[in-house]
Structure 1
C-alpha cells in the first residue's frame, strides 16, 4: 500500500532555534551509522506522523522508506528540506505549525545532547549527580522550566491504547485540573496522554489562561509509537527512557495515573521505587491513580501487584480515586500546596525537584536484550527499591518488544523475552500481563496482539 507523501522546505519560527555551526550540520548530514542522521530522521518521521493510528515503530519506518530530511545552512540561518514526508502533516501544501515546532524541537534536542552533554567533560554520566545535572540542562536548554511560577505542573501517565470511556474520563480530569489553573505534562502521545491536555486546554480557555503549558516529554525509542499529539506546546526529546522518567518526576509537582499497559506499569514502579527510599520519606509527592467506574478492577489488580511485590509501604504512597474527576483535581491541588510549602521551607527550586533522591539503579540505561531480560533479579531477597527498579526494567523490555523498532526486530529474530523469578512474583506478573492483553492495553485496537515475552514459572 502506498501512502501519500510530499516534498517541502521549511524554516523555523523566529526565536525557535539558534543558528547551527557547520560542524553540527555536518553531523546531521552524515548518513553513516556513526552520525546523528539516523536518530534525527526517525524522530522527525515520528513527529510528522502526528494523528496517525499507528503504534509500531518498525511499521512506521517501513511505511515511509524513502523519507529523507536534510539541514540546509544559509547565511541567514537554517532550513529543513524534506523528501517523501507524510502528506497528513500539511494543509494545502503548508506544514501544520504545531508539527513544524515539534520538528525543530527534535533538531534542537538531538544536537544539544550530542554536543553539550555526551561530549562535555563537565557531565560525569557515571555518577547519579552527573545524570541529574544532564537532565536539568537538557530541560533548561529547551526553555521549558518556569522559574517565576508557583508549582502547578501535573504529570499525567496512562496508556496510548485505552477505551473511549477511559479517554473521555482522562479529558474530564484534565478539564478539572485546567479550571484550577494547573498545567499538564505527559508522554506527549495519544490516549491518556492526549486526553488530559485537551481537557486542560478547555479549562484554561474558560479561565482565560493564555499561557497554559502542555509539556510533552519523549525519547527516540518510543516517539515513533507515540507521536506527539497536537495539543503539546512544549516538546522535549530526552536521550533515553531513564532520563525521560527522571525529567517527569523532577519537573512535575504531582502525578495522576490513568489506566494503561506495560508502559504505565513501568512508570508506576519507577515513581514508587524512588518514593520508597528513606531520604524521600518526608517529601510530599501527590500520586493519584484514577479512572472511570469501569477501571475499578484494573486498579484493584495494580494494587494487588504492588502489595505482593513492594508491600504496604508502597501502597501508602498513592490514593486510588474511581469515577470522580473533580475529587482528583481537588486532592491534587491540595497536594501541590503541600509541595510548595515543603519546597519553600527547604529552599528547593519550584521548577526542578533537586532534593528528590534518585538512586543510580533508576538512572542507568537498561538495554532490553534477551540476555538482560532473562538475568533480571526478580526476587524479594533484595532491598524493596532495587526490586522496584528491576521490575521497572522488565516492563520497559516488554514496551520495547511491543512498539519499539529495535525491540520488535529482536523478538522477530530471537523469539520471546524470557522472564523468570520468584514463583509468587511470577504468578502476579502473569496475571497482570494477561489482564493487559485481555483488555487490549498492549497495542492499539485492530491488531491481534502477539506477546513478546514468556513467563517462566
Structure 2
C-alpha cells in the first residue's frame, strides 16, 4: 500500500509492505536493534542500505547523492503478531509502479533487513570467536547460509569482477561473455552494481532464457560502505550484505568456482591483488581456481599494464595463476567451463563441498578489516624483500584505501578533512603504481561522472 507525497522536491511515496519467505518473522530483539537510532544502533545503517536498494539502477556513484535527493526518507521495521511490517516514509517513487513496490526491489529490501537483523544478533553473540581466522570464516558461512545461497548443486557459479565505470565497448563485451557463460548453464555472481557487474548478468539472463533455464541465480555481494555508491542493478535476484570489504572478498572466493575479471579501476585492482595474494600462498598451490582477465581488443593495453604491474611487484610466478584472453567471449566461457570441471574433481577428491570453498586457506591478515586512515595508508610496507603474498596484502590495502577515498563516506570525509592519502614505498613500485592510477584517471575508471579529484598522493 502506497501513497504519493507531493511535498518533496523528488517524487516520493509512503508505503507499507509485508515481507514473505525468509523474513516472515523477526524476534523482538532483532526489531529493537533495527529501530535503535543511537550511535551503536543499526537504524542509520538500515536507512542508508534501504535507500540504496530503493534507488536501484541509479547512474550516480556518489554515496551522498541519494541522501541529498531524499532527505526525508526513513524506514521502520515493526513486529506484529502475524509477522513483520515495513513502513517506508518519503521513499523514492522510482521503486513503485501504480502504487505498488516493484517486486524485485521489494526482495532486495527484504534482503537488507534480513542481513542486518542477522548481524545484530549473531555477530554480537560470537564476537570473541570471530577474532580468529576460523571464526571469521564460520561467520561468513553463517551469513551466506542465512541468505540461502549455499545450495548443494554442481559447481557452476562464476564470479565476475570489473569496474562500475566502463565504456560502452567494454560493457557490450562483458555482456557477450555473460551470454556465453549462460549458454553453458553457468550462474553469475558480482559486486551487484552497474557497469561490469551488471553486463554479464544481463548477457547470462538472455542466454538462460534461450536455454529455458528458469532457476538462474544472479548473486550480488556488497557491503555497507559500497552499496550507497553502487546500488544493486535490477537483475540481481539474490543480494547479501557482508559487514566489511574483507568479508565481501572472502565470500566471493568461498562461494564462487572461478573468477573472470573485466576492465576496471582501483576496486578491480584490489580484488585481483587479494585473490593472487591467496593463490600464491604455499597452502593454496594445489587448489584449482580458474582466474581469467578479459576485455575487448581496445582494452588489451589495460591488461598489459596490469600484467606488467603484477610482474614487477609480485614476480613472474603470479602470472601462472591467471590467463589473459582478449576479444574472444566464447573462448573465455570454454576456458572457465574447463577450469570449473577441475574444481569439481578436486572438491570430490578432497571431500570438499560444492557450495562453499573450505579448501582455500585464507589467513587472518587477509580477513581483518583495514581502516584507511592517513596513518595506516602511509605506513603500508610496499617494499622489496617481502614474500609475494604479504606484499600483495599491503598493495590490496593501498587500493582499498583509494576506493574508500573515492566512494565511501568515511573515506571521503577523511580526505576532505586531512587532504589526500599518501602512499610510499620502493621508487620503482611507486612509479608503476602512479602510472597505473594515472591511466585509470585518464580512462575515466575512477568515477562515472564529474571531474575526478584524486584522494591520494603517490610519493615517488
Q: TM-score range by the shorter chain?
A: over 0.9
Residue 9 of structure 1 corresponds to which residue in structure 2?
16
Give the secondary structure class of the aligned counterpart of 1:316: helix
Within a 5 Å distance, the mapping from 1:228-377 to structure 2 comes to 228-377=232-381
2:5 corresponds to which residue? Answer: none
Alignment of 1:140 onto 2:179: no
- Secondary structure (helix, strand or coil) at the match of 2:119 reads helix
User: Which one of 172, 190, 214 corresponds to residue 186 of structure 1?
Assistant: 190
1:61 to 59, 67, 73: 67
SS of corresponding position for 1:44: helix
2-structure distance, mates of 1:339, 1:73 = 44
Q: Does the 8 Å CA contact 2:30/2:120 hold for their aligned counterparts? A: no
1:97 matched to 2:103? The reply is: yes
- TM normalised by structure 2 equals 0.97
Whether the 8 Å CA contact 1:58–1:404 is kept in 2: the answer is: no
Conserved 8 A contact 1:379-1:422: yes
Report what 1:221 is aligned to: 225
- In structure 2, the residue matched to 1:396 is 400
Question: How many Å separate the matches in 2 of 1:440 and 1:17?
Answer: 40
Partners of 1:114 and 1:21 in 2: how far apart?
11
1:448 counterpart residue number:
451
Structure 2 counterpart of 1:127, from 114, 126, 132: 132
Task: Give 1:384 shift.
Answer: 1.1
Q: Identify the residue that residue 201 of structure 1 maps to in structure 2.
A: 205
> Aligned partners of 2:21, 2:59: CA distance in 1, in Å?
32
Equivalenced residues, count: 453
Offset at 1:4? 1.9
Which whole-Å CA distance do the structure 1 matches of 2:394 and 2:123 have between them? 26
Pick from 61, 82, 86 the counterpart of residue 80 of structure 1: 86
User: In structure 1, how many angstroms separate the alpha carbons of the residues matched to 2:237 and 2:216?
Assistant: 9
d(CA) in 1 for partners of 2:47, 2:391: 36
Q: What is the alpha-carbon distance in structure 1 between the residues aligned to residue 175 and residue 143 of structure 2?
A: 29
TM (normalized to structure 1)?
0.97
Q: Structure 1 stretch 239-248 or stretch 48-57: which is displaced more? A: 48-57
Output the CA distance in 2 between the equivalents of 1:133 and 1:371.
31
Aligned CA-pair RMSD: 1.1
- 1:200-258 CA distance string (max 9 Å, x none): 11111111111111111000000011111111111100000000000000110000000
User: Is the partner of 2:229 in helix, strand or coil?
Assistant: coil
Task: Give, in whole Å, the separation in 2 of the partners of 1:33 and 1:187.
Answer: 28
Does the 8 Å contact 1:58/1:408 carry over to 2? no
1:28 is aligned to 2:31? no
Q: How far has the Cα of 1:77 moved from its partner?
A: 0.8
Q: Of 401, 404, 409, which aligns to 2:413?
A: 409
| Aligned mates of 1:317, 1:120 — CA distance in 2 | 35
**Structure 2 SS opposite 1:125:** helix
> Residue 131 of structure 2 aligns to a residue in which SS?
coil
Alpha-carbon separation, structure 2, partners of 1:430 and 1:18: 51
Separation in 1, partners of 2:387, 2:132: 21
Alignment partners' CA distance in 2, 1:232 and 1:206: 19
1:15-58 CA-to-partner distances (Å, cap 9, x unmatched) read 13141122221112211111110111111111111011110112
Q: For the residues of structure 1 that align with 2:291 and 2:10, how far apart are their CA atoms?
A: 42
In structure 1, the gaps of 5 or more residues are none
Equivalent in 74, 77, 85 of residue 71 of structure 1: 77
2: CA distance between counterparts of 1:29 and 1:176?
Answer: 45
Q: Is the 8 A contact 1:283 1:342 kept in 2?
A: yes
Q: Which residue of 1 aligns with 2:181?
A: 177
Q: How many angstroms does 1:11 deviate by?
A: 1.1
Q: For residues 338-380 of structure 1, what are the alpha-carbon distances to aligned partners after superposition, in whole Å with 9 as ceiling and x for unaligned?
A: 0000111111111101010111111010001111111111112
User: 2:34, 2:116 within 8 Å by CA — same for their partners in 1?
Assistant: no
* Partner SS state of residue 295, structure 1: helix
- 1:158 corresponds to which of 157, 162, 173: 162
Quote how far apart the aligned CAs of 1:59 are: 2.6
State how far apart, in whole Å, the 2-side matches of 1:57 and 1:280 are. Answer: 37
Segment of structure 1 superposing worse, 16-25 or 334-343: 16-25
After TM superposition, which residue ranges in structure 1, 4 or more long, deviate above 6 angstroms? none
Distance in 2, Cα, partners of 1:55 & 1:83:
24
Deviations 1:163-222 (A, max 9, x none): 011011000000000000011000000000000001111111111111111111000000
Query: What stretches of structure 2 of length at least 5 have no aligned partner?
Result: 1-7
